[in-house]
Amino acid sequence: MFRYFSSSSMIAATLQLICTVAVLVNADDYTVTEGNKSFLAAVGCFWCGEQAFEQYAPGVVEVVSGYAGGTNSNPTYRNHPGHYEVILIEYDPEKTSYEVLVNYGYRNIDPFDGNGQFCDKGSSYYPAIFYSTEEEQIIAETVLAQILELYPDWSKDDIQAPILERPKFWRAEKYHQDYYIKNPSNYGYYKNACGRNQRLKEVWGEEEYKCYHDEDYACFADTNTTIIDDETGKEVKVEGVATVVNDSGEVVQAESNIKNAPKEIAGLLPRWALVLASILGAVVGIGIVIFFAVKCRSGDDFV
């Protein structure tokens, strides 16, 4: 039995197939858990971006380092022409919002440096805030406007971190993921030597820096706040609890997904340099011992 397809139905089916293929082609190289959302930002070194959002931003489920916006597919650390180093922040929309995370994005960049971030320069380190929808674009622009009101000495022309339409995201290599957890010594040395914390405090001020880099969200705590109870779904009043507004406009308790990260070590040298110095020290020490042993056996005077 043959089925008859009209020309209009054939065209509709073809367009649907094209749209499906387009979605697959443009899909991120990372799948967000059903019910969660994601926010893309370029904040300089993606190692530092991971730590900042995973440890200090409320409602964050996972942060993934990667590349976006460049000219090639499947970019790598050695080959990502035109790509930003970015972080994809997967978040629970019931515990935070795009607006909250955009605020965190700005507080983790130097908005006046369009040539890179901190000690890192070049297109890989350009700062940017990305949006996926017109609504997100409006939210991002509103956040920037609020920041400019908070800092009246700044003008919109001073801000070198553009708000851009979100490009496709590509995951970075495995060794880049959770780098601050796997290599605390190297990471601590890099972050300290790069002057990231120092510059953020200079730009935003000590209090604002502390507000957005505090695991207890002390500056978001209110003396008398109404929140939605998770078990009953009813509003309850609480005191001294840090809160944020989620994607639905509800006031909820601020919670973070703090990973079991070792304390970063802001030493004078990275781990590889310390190992090399230890090896060289041992070689020199052995050399000295051999030298004196030979001298003693030959009976030479040490004069």
Active site residues: 45
Distance CA 258, CA 63 (A): 11
Which DSSP state fits 262? P
Q: In angstroms, rounded to a whole number, what is the distance separating the alpha carbons of residues 42 and 167?
A: 12
Q: Shortest CA distance to 90 belongs to which of 125, 129, 53?
A: 53
Task: Decide: 49 and 57 in contact? Cβ < 8 Å.
Answer: no
Residue of 239, 241, 289 whose CA lies nearest to 58 = 241
Strand pairing of 163-165 and 128-131?
parallel
Helices (H), 36-80: 46-56
Neighbours of 4 (CB within 10 A): 5
Query: What phi-psi label fits residue 249: left (phi over 0), alpha (psi between -120 and 50 degrees) or beta?
Result: left
Token pair 């998770």: residue: 230
Q: What are phi and psi of 116, to 5 degrees?
A: 155, -160
Q: Which residues pair with 226 in a beta bridge?
A: 237
